[in-house]
Chain A
Amino acid sequence: MKASCRRLALILSVSVAATATFGFARNAEAGGQVTIGVTETIASYNPYADSISMGYAIWCQVYGCLGIYDYEKGDYVGMLVDRWEVDKADKNVWTFHLKRGVKRQNDGVEFTSADVIHSVDRINNDPQSKQKQNISPIKDISAVDKYTVKIVTKEPTASLLEYIFDRVIITAKDLYDKHGAREVDRKFPLGWGPYKLKELVIGQRIVLEKDSSHPDAKPQNPDTLIFSIMREAEQRVTALINNEIQIAQFIPPHLAERVSRATNAELLPTSSVEIMFLAMSPKYKPWDNLKLRQAVCYAIDRDLIIKNVLKAQADRLDGPIGPGQYGYDPEYTKKNLTIAYDPAKARELVKASGYSNEPVYLETPVGRYINDKEVTEAMVPMLNAVGINARLRTPEWATLWADVQKGKTPFYYMGRGSVVDPSVALSQYFETNGSPRIGISDPEIDRTLAAERVTFDPAERKKALNIAFKAIEDAAPGCFMWRHHMLYGLSKTVVHKPNAAGRIFGTEIVVK
C-alpha cells in the first residue's frame, strides 16, 4: 500500500514538474507567436464593410495598401506604390507608379493597376461599403499602363494621400471576378501584404500568419499575429502579466502602475493622434442653435477632467489638433482658438440661446475609449451647472457606432483616430456631405476646408488649415477635448514601438 502510494506520489510529482517545464518551455518558445489584446473588432470578412482604425491596419497588412504614414520619418512612404507625383499644370491629376514584381500570397499573381482600380470601384459600389468618404475626392481613376495609375480629383486635393494611402485596401480583381464578393472575402482573402489571414472569429480574434516570402517580412517578426478582442482593461492587463498576450493596447491610467510593477512587462506611453471630441448634430433640436452648441464648449472643464479622471494622461486640445499633427500652429492657436472653461459665459450663452430646458442626451461608448464613461459622467454635472438639462446614455458600442455612422445620434462623445493630416477627418465630420455623422452644413466651414485642400504649398496650406480650424470652432458642431497618452503594456519578450495612430503592424514587432 505504502509502495503504491509512493509510486503514485512520484508519478504525480513528475507529471506536475513535466507540465510546469513544458508549459514554460512552450511560452518561452512562443517567439513565433505574438498576441495583442485589442479593444476593437472587425465586423466582417469584407475589408470595406467597416471604417475603424484597427481594421485598416489589419487589412493593410493582409491585402496591402498603397502606402502608410511613417511616424519615424514624419512622411508618407509607399507600400504597394513606388512613387507618386502631382501634375504641375493640373493639380487634379495624380500619377501613382506601382511597385513591380509584387507577388500575391499563395498563387504568386502579380499586383497591377487593375487591382487598384477594382478596389476603388468596390469601395464605391459594394453595398456593404462604409468607406466611401475615403474616395470622395476622386473623380476618375484609370490605368496608364500595367504599373501606373492616374487619379483625377474633383478639385485639387493636397491631402489626397491621407484619404487613400492606408485607407484604400487593395483587393484582387481576378479573384473577385472569378468567385464573387462573398466567396472571395471568405474563402480567398489573398493579397500582397506581409501577413495572410488565417482565421477570423468576429468579436473574438483575428489570426494572421506571416508570408515569409514577402520582402517586408523579416525572420524576427512574429510568425503568427493574433489580435485578441479584450474590451476590459483589467482583462488585457491580467493577460499580459500572465504571459497570455504580449501586447496590451490602451492601458487606462489607474492600471498603469500595475503594468509598471510587473517583472515580465513594461509600460510604453505614446502620444496619440486620436482627437476626442463632443459632437452636436445641428440636424436635431436643440443643437440647431449655435449659441447652445458654443455654451457646451465653454461649460466643460477639460483640465479638471484630465487631471482627476484621466490622471493627467491626456493633452488638452485647443482647436481640432495638437502638437505633432499637420498644420498645428501654436501661435495661431494661442491667439485664435480660445474656447476655454468659462461657466459664466456658458450660462450667458444658454440664456441667450432661448433653450427651453428640454433634456438632451449625451451618448457615450463604454470601454471603447480610455475612461469614456467616467469622463462623460463628469461632463454631465458641468452641463447641468450652466443650465443645460443633460443626461447620459450608454448604449452598446455596436448600436451607438451604427447610429453615429447613419447620423442618428444628436449628441455624443467620440474619437477620430489616425489624424495626421486633419483635412480628411475634418471634412468627414464637419463638411457638407462629408458623412452623416454630424450632418452640419456651414458655408464658411465648407469654403475654408475647400481652400486648404486646393493649396499645395505646405506653408500656405498650414495657414489655410488654421483658418478652417477657426471656422469649425466658431460654428461649434463639436467641442474638441483632448488627445490621450496611449499607454501600451509590452511583454519583455518582444520589441515594439507603438505609433501615434494606434495601428499595429506585424512587421514592426520583433520577437526577442
Chain B
Amino acid sequence: MENSATLEAEVISERRAVRSRRLRRALRPWLTPKVIGGGIIVLLLVIVGLSAPWIAPYDPNVQNLSHALRPPDWLFGANVLGTDALGRDILSRLFYGARISLVIAVMVVIISGVVGIALGAISGYFAGTTDFLIQKLVEVVWAFPPLLLAIAIMAFLGQGLENLILALVSQRWIAYCRVSRGQALSLRSREFVDAARSLGARHTRIIVRHIVPNLLPSALVIGTFSMASAIISEAALSFLGLGVPPEIPTWGSMLADGRTYISTSWWLALFPGLCIFFTVLGINLLGDGLRDILDPRLKRSGSGIG
C-alpha cells in the first residue's frame, strides 16, 4: 500500500518534471535578451498608453500661461519634466503621446497587414494574370518614396488621425504583400493544399484556412518592424506639421514645438526625443528577437523589412 503510494508520488513528480522541462524548452528560445529587453519596453509603452488618463498628473491640453517654460522639477514637484510654451505639463503630454503613438502604430500594422496579406495570398495562390496585376500595383506604389507619398496624402487630405493612418498604410502593406505572395506561391503546390482542393474546397476556404495561417509568423515579424517605422513616420509627419491636429499631443509634434526653444528650454525637445528613441529601440529589439525565433531564414537573408 505504502509502496504504491510512493510509486504514484514518483510518477506525479516525474510528470511534473517532464512538463516543467517541456515548458522550459518551449520558453528557452523566447528568453533572449532581445525579446526580454524589447518586450519590457513595449509592455511599458502599452501600460503607459492604456493608463494615461489615470497616471498623468494633469490634462495634457490644459494651459497655464503664467507657468510657461518651467524647467523640470525633478523632486516630485508640480511639473516633474517641466512645462511647455503654453504652460502644459510635459510628463502628462508624454503619457498621452504614448497612447497616440501606440494607437497609430497598432492601427497601421493591422490595416496594412490585412491588406498586404490578403493581396499577397491572392496574388501567390492564383498566380498568372491576377499575380501580374497585383504585382504591378505593388511596383507602382513602391516607386514612391514612403515619406514623400505620406506627405502628399496628408497635404491632400489635411490633418487628422484617420488621414494620418491612411497615409502611413499607403505603402506599408507592400512588405506584407511581397513576403506573403512568395510564400503563397510555394504553398499553393503543397500536398495539404492539393488535398483540400481534391476534397472540393473552394478557393476562398483554401486561402483563408490553409494559406493565410501559414503566412502569419512572417507577417508577425514584419509587423513589429513596421510598427517601429510607423512611429518614426508619425513623428516625422507631426514634426513637419502634417500629422495629427495640434490639440492631440504626440511625441513628434512635441519635438517639433520644442525645436524652437532648443537653446533656451532643452526639456521641450529632449524628453519626446528620448521617448521616440527608446520606443523604436524596444520594438526593433523585439522584432529582431521574434524574427530569430519565427523565421530564421529572414535573418540569414538579412532582408530589410518595414
A→B interface (CB under 8 Å): 232-234, 237-238, 252, 254-255, 257-258, 304-305, 307-309, 366-367, 371, 373-374, 377-378, 380-381, 391-396, 399
B68 within 8 Å of A by Cβ? yes
Query: Can you identify 21 A-B contacts, CB atoms within 8 angstroms?
Result: A232-B259, A232-B260, A233-B260, A254-B69, A254-B260, A257-B264, A304-B65, A308-B65, A309-B68, A373-B257, A374-B85, A377-B86, A378-B86, A381-B63, A391-B245, A392-B246, A394-B159, A394-B246, A396-B155, A396-B240, A396-B241
Could you tell me the distance in whole angstroms from the C-beta of A31 to the nearest C-beta in chain B?
Answer: 29
Q: B263 touching A377 by the CB < 8 A rule? A: no
Residue B236 is within 8 A (CB to CB) of chain A in the complex: no
- Contact check: which of A255, A309, A394 meets B65 at CB < 8 Å? A309
Query: In the bound complex, do residue A393 and residue B159 qualify as a contact, i.e. CB atoms below 8 Å apart?
Result: yes
Across the interface, A234 reaches (CB within 8 A) one of B158, B241, B260, namely B260
A238 to B259, CA, bound (A): 13
Which residues of the partner chain B approach A257 to less than 8 Å between Cβ atoms?
A: 264
Q: How far is the CA of A252 from the CA of B263 in the complex (A)?
A: 13
CB distance from B238 to the nearest CB of A (A): 10
Q: Could you say which residues of chain B place their CB within 8 Å of the CB of A255? A: 263-264
- Picked from A254, A392, A399, the residue with its CB within 8 Å of the CB of B261 is A254
- The answer for the CA separation of A233 and B265 in the assembled complex, in Å, is 14
CB neighbours (8 Å) of A399 from chain B are 155
Q: Who on chain B is nearest to A235 by CB?
A: B259
Interface string of B191-226 (1 = CB under 8 A from A): 000000000000000000000000000000000000
B66: nearest residue on chain A (CB-CB)? Answer: A308
Q: A309-B65, A395-B158 are in contact. Are A258 and B246 (CB under 8 A)?
A: no
Q: Is the interface of B mostly helix, strand, loop or mixed?
A: loop
Provide the residues of chain A in CB contact with B263, threshold 8 Å. Answer: 234, 237-238, 255, 258
Report if B247 contacts A (CB, 8 A): yes
Are A366 and B241 in contact (CB-based, < 8 A)?
A: yes
The residue on A at minimum CB distance from B256 is: A366
- Complex Cα–Cα for A238 and B264 (A): 12
Which residues of B sit under 8 angstroms from A377, Cβ to Cβ? 63, 86, 246
**Smallest CB-CB A-B distances: 3 pairs:** A308-B65, A392-B246, A394-B241
Contact A234 B63 (CB under 8 A): no
B262 at interface (Cβ–Cβ under 8 A)? yes
Query: A392–B240 Cα gap in the complex (Å)?
Result: 16
Please report B residues at the A interface, Cβ cutoff 8 Å. 61, 63, 65-66, 68-69, 85-87, 155, 158-159, 240-242, 245-247, 257, 259-265
Closest to A256 in B: B264
A97 to B155, CA, bound (A): 49
CA separation between A371 and B69, bound complex, in Å?
14
Per the bound structure, the CA–CA distance linking A373 and B247 in Å amounts to: 12
Report the minimal beta-carbon distance from A235 to chain B, rounded to whole angstroms: 10
Q: What's the least CB distance linking A392 to chain B, in Å?
A: 5
In angstroms, how far is the closest chain B Cβ from the Cβ of A233? 6
B259 CB contact (under 8 Å) in A234, A374, A393: A234
Known contacts A232-B259, A378-B65; A391/B247 CB under 8 A: yes
Q: How far is the CA of A213 from the CA of B155 in the complex (A)?
A: 47
Distance of A67 Cα from B129 Cα, bound (Å):
70
8 Å CB contact of B68 from A232, A238, A252, A308: A308
Is the beta-carbon distance between B246 and A374 smaller than 8 angstroms? no
The minimal Cβ–Cβ distance linking B206 to chain A, given in whole angstroms, is: 48
Asked if residues A254 and B264 are in contact (CB atoms below 8 Å), the reply is yes
Q: Please, which residues of chain A bring their CB within 8 A of the CB of B240?
A: 396
In the bound complex, residues from chain B placing their C-beta under 8 Å from that of A396 are: 155, 240-242
**Distance of A367 Cα from B263 Cα, bound (Å):** 17
The chain A residue sitting closest to B242, CB to CB, is: A396
Known: A373-B257, A374-B86. 11 other contacts (CB 8 A): A234-B260, A254-B264, A254-B265, A308-B66, A309-B85, A377-B246, A391-B245, A391-B247, A393-B158, A394-B159, A394-B246
Q: For residue A234, which residues in chain B have a CB less than 8 angstroms away from its CB?
A: 259-260, 262-263
Q: Tell whether A252 pairs with B247 under 8 Å between CB atoms, given A366-B241, A381-B63, A399-B155.
A: no
Taking CB atoms, residues of chain B closer than 8 Å to A254 are 69, 85, 260-261, 264-265
Report how far A309 CA is from B264 CA in the complex, Å.
15
A391, B158: Cα distance in complex, Å:
14
CB distance from B101 to the nearest CB of A (A): 19
Whole-angstrom distance between the alpha carbons of A382 and B239 in the complex?
25
Chain B residues closer than 8 Å to A392, beta-carbon distance? 245-247
CB distance from B139 to the nearest CB of A (A): 30
B291 to nearest A CB, angstroms? 38
Bound form: Cα–Cα A17–B49 in Å: 55
Q: How far is the CA of A500 from the CA of B108 in the complex (A)?
A: 50
Question: A395–B247 Cα gap in the complex (Å)?
Answer: 14
User: Which residue of A378, A381, A393 is within 8 Å of B245 (Cβ)?
Assistant: A393
Bound CA span A378–B265, Å: 19
B249 to chain A, nearest CB (A): 11
* B246 closest partner in A (C-beta): A392
Cα distance A367–B262 in the bound complex, in angstroms: 15
Chain B residues near A309 (CB, 8 Å)? 65, 68, 85-86
Q: Which residue of A lies closest to B67 (CB)?
A: A308
State A373–B84 Cα separation when bound (angstroms).
13
Query: Who on chain A is nearest to B154 by CB?
Result: A396
Contacts of A380 in B (CB 8 A): 247
Q: Complex formed: what's the CA distance from A234 to B85 in Å?
A: 15
A378 and B68 CA atoms in complex are apart in Å by: 11
CA distance A374 to B268 in the complex (A): 14
B85: chain A residues within 8 A (beta carbon): 254, 309, 371, 374
Known contacts being A232-B260, A255-B264, is A378 close to B63, with CB within 8 Å? yes
Residue of A nearest to B253 (CB): A394
With both beta carbons as reference points, the residue of chain A lying nearest to B88 in the complex is identified as A377
Residues on the A chain within 8 Å of B247, using CB: 380, 391-392
Contacts of A252 in B (CB 8 A): 260
- The answer for the CA separation of A254 and B265 in the assembled complex, in Å, is 9
Closest Cβ neighbor of B87 among chain A residues: A308
A367–B241 CA distance with the chains assembled, in angstroms: 11
Instruction: Tell me the complex Cα distance, A359–B155, Å.
Output: 21
Q: Using Cβ atoms and an 8 Å threshold, which residues of chain B touch A304?
A: 65
Q: Give Cα A396 to B158, complex, Å.
A: 10
The interface residues of chain B lying within 8 Å CB-to-CB of A237 are: 263
Residues in chain B near residue A258, CB distance under 8 A = 263-264
Chain A residues, Cβ within 8 Å of B245: 391-394
Nearest Cβ on chain B to A187's Cβ, whole angstroms? 32
Q: Which residue of chain B is the closest to A381 with respect to CB atoms?
A: B63
Q: Bound state CA distance, A371 and B247, in angstroms?
A: 17
Chain B residues in 8 Å Cβ range of A232: 259-260
